[in-house]
Every structure is written in C-alpha cells, then in structure tokens.
Structure 1
C-alpha cells in the first residue's frame, strides 16, 4: 500500500474560497478591494481563473504506480513543490506584517517567496527572516542610480534570484482603488476610517506593527512626506517603461539568475532569450493592467507550443491558480513552475501568522491528491494526462 503523505492545515478552511471568505470578514473593505481588484471592467481578472476550466486531464488507473515526487529543481535549488508566493505591493496594508509571515513560511516549507519593490518590508529584513532565500521583484526606477543601488543591496544580502517586472509602463486604471482612495496619491477618507474601525483585529495588529510604508524605498525618500508628496514621489520614481536596453544593463550587472515577469507574447519572449535571461514568468499582472488582454494561462499555452523556448530558459506562470488541480493543469500545458499571490494573502488575512504555512500545505495536499488520482509520479507526466 502506498504510504500516505499528509500536509497539515486547518480543516475549517480546506479551499482557497474558504480562506477568501474569512479574509474578507477580517480585512477592511478598502484594503480587500486593493487586493481583489483588476483594471477597467475586470474582465481579464475573471478570465485568469475561468480559462483554467477549459483544460482537461485524464487518469491512467491500471498502470504501475510508485508514488509521487512533487519537488522541483529551479536555478540550482530543489524546492519541495512546483509553486511559490508572488510579489504583491502594499502587503502590510492588507494584513499587518504579511511579508514577514509569508517569507518565514516559505523558507520553512521550502518554496520561494518574492518580495516586491513596493511591498512593506525591506530587502534586508526579508533576507534576515527568510535566511537569505527570498527572491526580489524590481520595479525599474526612472533613475538608473536608484536601480543600481537596489541591485547593490540585493548583492549584499546574496539574493538568490532577481525578477524584473516589465508589464507596468503605466499604472492600470483600477476603479476600486480610485473610489477607495488607494490610487496615487493615496488618501484616507472618512469611509476608509470607518471600514478600519469595524475590523478591530486588523486595527490592533496595524498599531502593533506600525503604519505600512514602502520600506525598501525609505532610504530614497525625503523624511516627513505627506500623502500627496508620497504619491508624487512614486509617480516620479517609477514612471517609464522597461525596454531591451534597460534589461541588458541589468543582465550585465546581475550575475545570478535573472527572470522577467509579465512576458505574454512571442516577440517579448524572443527578446528575453536574446538578452540571455534565465527565465520568464508569464503573467498579466493579475488582470490589473490590460483588460482586453488574454488570461495568463492562455498566453502560456501559446508560448509553450514553441518547444525551442523551454530549451533556452525556464517558463513559469503567475495568475489565476486557485487549487492543486490548477497546478496540475498548468504543468500539463507547459509551466515549469507557478506563482500565486492573492491565495496567500487570503491565507494571512484569514489565519494571521498561521496563514502562510496553511496555504502552502493546502496547495501541497491538493496537488498530492490530483497526482495520486491521475497516477502521476513526477510533474512532467502531467503533459501525458492532457486531453487535447
């Protein structure tokens, strides 16, 4: 009989939908809307999830079966599962101390955590709590001197992987954020204060950990900026697009693994290969930038039809994954590794300090079940289970 593998998680929340419902009851509406929202009419946000439903997998019940191995070696490190935690801005606004909770959980469970430039913990603090295992996502600054200093700080803490975000040449038009006051410049209005007041656990923890700020960027800000000045600083500092020349300059400076996040077309894939990056994360920024675009999983399927791409770099996916079944579907259509953002924020919003480990183990348990059900022993075998 096959040895049963168990991944402990809170049985009151056996799905991402359960975590989402609980998190919504604990996070103020303005912060939850920031997490949930997409751009414009949020059509691509919905497609990110629904397009997974069109991928079908088949079992092979009578074949010999030795058990499962869901580990994945990526850039020289073997992770315990083929997924990690996506970068999200303002994590500490949605749940106090969220970056540290998630970075610690990821290090303990041996999956990657990516810190965003605009998250609420610093490069140095996350390197400390993760034992130097956390990746970093760079929003390319307008000034090259700021970019160079951030890269220097990453080199000092020996960050294992640098991810450069390429899909924000402008800030998406997100109606929820505009109405709540979380657009730039941000503001706290009477409505937001009321919403915070009726979420006392969030409020108490925010008082304990302090008002969230862009911790990595603090050394570059003037002291005492008010909200309007902060908005002006962010717009001034991160206005401008990433192009081949900028990526090439980073490739020349950064000797470790370099990944581009936001690649969705063959043209950009070929440019990434020409530059010599080590991997790409196919992503539409969680449906927050281009409402008329394709879902991440559809873009991935089109890119992986060209077998030569996967021979030259690692192709990963971010966007729309909500279960272990989705992880299996992603592997079946060519994703070598996967990242999820919102599910992990639901986890910490619902369960606080236990939310990171719970969500990791939840995905592991679900992936284990689908591998056993389909008689998949190793991740690459999902491709053989795809119904085309």
Structure 2
C-alpha cells in the first residue's frame, strides 16, 4: 500500500500500522481500559440519518466557518496532539504546513515536539496552544506568557486529563518517554528498522514547551508519570477563571461534557468549549461528544462557540456535528495516521480527502454554506431529537 492508495481514515490507519513500530502505533491507536468509548465515539454517528434537500442550486459551496475569532476555510481543524515527531520526523512542522495549505487551524500541545514560537513565526493560519494545569502555578503562568509573546491567538486548556487514563496497550509494550520497552516492544522496533534510522538521523527528540521546566529524561517521565506527578487534580473553576482573566483573549476549555460545566465556562469568560472524551483515552464508558452535542448547544450555543472532537472519520460525521450546532470539529487520529504514513503529503491528502467529502456531501444535502445546516437535516433512528422536537411543538 502506498499513499495514493489511501482514500479514507482506515486506509491511512493501515499504512501507519505498516510503517510504525508496534508500541508507537498502539500509542496512537489505543484507548483506555476496554476501549468501549473509543469505539462508541464513531458508532455514535450511526444513531441518526442525514435528510437531504434537492433542487437547491448548489454549484458553489462555502465551507468556511468562524470559530473563536478565527476564520477557517474548512470546518475541520487539527486538534493538538502530543509527541508528533515520534510518528514522523517532521512532526508538527508537517501538520502545521498541511493545515496552512487548507486554511484551517492547528494545535500545538504542551507535550509537542516543535516549539510553538517556530510554528507561529512560519505559519499564518490560526494556531491553538493546548496546555495542562500543573501543580506549579508559576509554570502555568510562564506557559501562558510564552504563548502570548509568540503571538498565539487561542489558548486551550485540557480539563479531562488531571490524571492519566489506563492505556493498557502502552503498559503491555512499555511505551514511555524515554522508552522502557518490554521484550515484545523491542522486537517490534527491530522489525521496523526505517523508523529507527529516521529517528537517529534527524534532530534530537525534545519537548521544547516543557524542556525549561520539566526533566523528561528520568525514569519517572513516562507519559502516565507526567500526568500523575506534574498535573494538579485539585484544579477548580476559580483557578481556571483566573487564567481566563490573565490570558485576556480567546480561551477554550477542552473536555467539557455536561450542560452545567458548559454554563460555568460561559460564566468565567471562556469563548469556546470542545466537547471531548480525549478520543476514548481517559474515562472508558464515558458518553460520546456527539451524543451530548445537541443539549449543550441548546443550552449555551448562543453564548459560546461549541466544538467537538473524538470519533470523526468521515465527511458525513462532520455534517452531522455541524447540523447539531457545532461550529467546527477537531480531528486527531485522522491526521496522525496520515502523518505517520507519509509526513506532510500524508496530512495534506487526509485533509484534502476530508474536504472533498464534506463539499460533495453538502451538495448532496442541498446546502451551499455551513450556516444552512441545522437539526432539521437530521432524523434519529431510535429517539427524538430534543431541538427538533421543541421546534415542532412550538409550531
């Protein structure tokens, strides 16, 4: 299989699996516990059907959206993800460039492998900086100031990861930073030598957002150890409210899943929320973002920009989320598999295919702009839609 043979999410996944050592592939691919939520995130979209309209004159389709003051030329953005240069030696550089090609937003993680300053200086498309709330309040303040100095437009605080999820695939292979591989994990690296050649012949692997603050070279620096030892589970709404005020700009909470929490985000001055269960990597058995989207949009959609991630694999998934009121959707694995498969050309192909799907599907829906999508475009298979039902009752 080559890049030109990749036509969808699963194709990129298969090519990534062929090219990555098993422990690294499973770090991308896996979820928490029994991976029930990981699977449900995508199957949730099967709970409703799209209802197309015809004869609408759809020769031209506008995919642009406005989210947290940023213009995106397609309603999909590249969510911030950690450790990207483990998957391909260009890492975030490839993802940022591909996102710029399609005029959309990309995220840089505090566990990113390229500095946010380098990416902000080189690329003009919207950039999000995602960070975690650390026990060291001075570190939190320093990370925000660094992003502000670099010219980053949107701050994104992840709030569903105050401790690491139980990712048993990583435990079985010994995946950590630095590597603490099991025998089986070492064998997987041995049978994929090209990954190792690329790893040792390019610049040293670092975490530039954290290098000045955290010693990631010791034995306690596994991914789980970072979450357990460095992050602060005592974080409260008051703490976040102070950060929102200190930032003084576009501030988004990633990992909100209830109406009550969405309302609190509005109250403390956030401008965006991302409905997310971290791609099924944290609390297994949790509800899917798509299943929560309608009631949260109904409660706060006119007061704050509501987005979602987790489980997006198709253009029709994007249309269903937009029809329920999401301003945009984020993808993670959807571009990470493509990055692992072929670097920047892979990410560009993945985004291009997804854009083509969305544009084609919008024409088939009879919609010429994202603003024309609404709950009226959906019919649920086994339950009523709360917003559509309310509209029908009002009529």
Q: By the TM > 0.5 criterion, same fold?
A: yes
Number of equivalences: 377
Cα gap change, 1:229/1:83 in structure 2, threshold over 3 Å: closer, same or farther?
A: closer
Which residue number in structure 2 is paired with residue 6 of structure 1? Answer: none
The answer to whether the Cα contact below 8 Å between 1:100 and 1:129 also exists between their aligned partners in 2 is: no
The answer to whether the Cα contact below 8 Å between 2:176 and 2:222 also exists between their aligned partners in 1 is: no
- Please tell me whether residue 32 in structure 1 is matched to residue 40 in structure 2: no
- Please tell me whether residue 45 in structure 1 is matched to residue 38 in structure 2: yes
Unaligned 5+ runs, structure 1:
1-8
- Please tell me whether residue 380 in structure 1 is matched to residue 371 in structure 2: yes
Q: How does 1:241-320 map to 2 (within 5 A)?
A: 241-306=234-299, 309-320=300-311
Match of 2:312 among 302, 305, 321: 321
Cα gap change, 1:19/1:253 in structure 2, threshold over 3 Å: closer, same or farther?
A: same
Unaligned 5+ runs, structure 2:
381-395
Q: How does 1:1-388 map to 2 (within 5 A)?
A: 11-131=4-124, 133-182=126-175, 187-222=180-215, 225-228=217-220, 235-306=228-299, 309-383=300-374, 384-388=376-380
Q: Distance in 2 between matches of 1:330 and 1:189?
A: 41
> Displacement, 1:191?
2.8
Spell out, residue by residue over 1:287-338, the C-alpha distance to the aligned partner (whole angstroms, 9 max, x if none): 11111211111121331233xx111100001110001111111111111111
TM-score scaled to structure 1, two decimals?
Answer: 0.91
Q: Distance in 2 between matches of 1:333 and 1:354?
A: 32
> Displacement, 1:382?
2.2
Q: Distance in 2 between matches of 1:229 and 1:267?
A: 35
TM-score scaled to structure 2, two decimals?
Answer: 0.90
> Displacement, 1:229?
5.6
> Displacement, 1:11?
4.5
> Displacement, 1:283?
0.3
Which residue number in structure 2 is paired with residue 3 of structure 1? Answer: none
Tell me the secondary structure at the aligned position of residue 252 of structure 1: helix
Tell me the secondary structure at the aligned position of residue 14 of structure 1: coil
Q: Distance in 2 between matches of 1:187 and 1:239?
A: 25
> Displacement, 1:185?
8.0
Over the residues paired in the alignment, what is the CA RMSD in angstroms? 2.1
